[in-house]
Amino acid sequence: MDDDKLKITLRQLGISLPPLTIKREDEIYYRQAEKAIPRILANYKEAYTELTDEQHLYMTLVHFAANMFCQLDNNETEPLVAQMKEAVRLIEEKLDVKAAS
């Protein structure tokens, strides 16, 4: 296994999942997910008592997928924000030049 790869085993609902080979620097994200999933799942079980365990799991899955897509959208705006900041800087620079003339 590469030095930058790591094999980890996660647990969910008392079950050991099959080992995953991941980038070493990504381990923290997998460990955070391992802790967050039961918390989110418990919230859905409490809020929707009439649903089955399978439905609760699907709702938890949708929750994380929606958050992921939201993050992707936010990250995709970063180049635009950087361009806007640069445009503002250039405008301010030009205004200072005009004001000094």
Report yes or no on 53 lying in a domain: yes
DSSP 23-76: EGGGHHHHHHHHHHHHHHHHHHHHH-TTS-HHHHHHHHHHHHHHHHHHHHHHHH
pLDDT tens string 15-68: 999 999 999 999 999 999 999 999 999 999 999 999 999 999 999 999 999 988
Residue 13, domain member (yes or no):
yes
Q: Is residue 14 part of a domain?
A: yes
The per-residue pLDDT for range 75-84, each reduced to its tens digit, is 777 776 777 7
What is the pTM assigned to this prediction?
A: 0.67
- Contact (CB, 8 A) for 20 and 8: yes
Number of domains in the chain: 1
Tokens read off for 92: 């301010």
For residue 91, is it within any domain?
Answer: no
Range of the domain at 46: 5-72
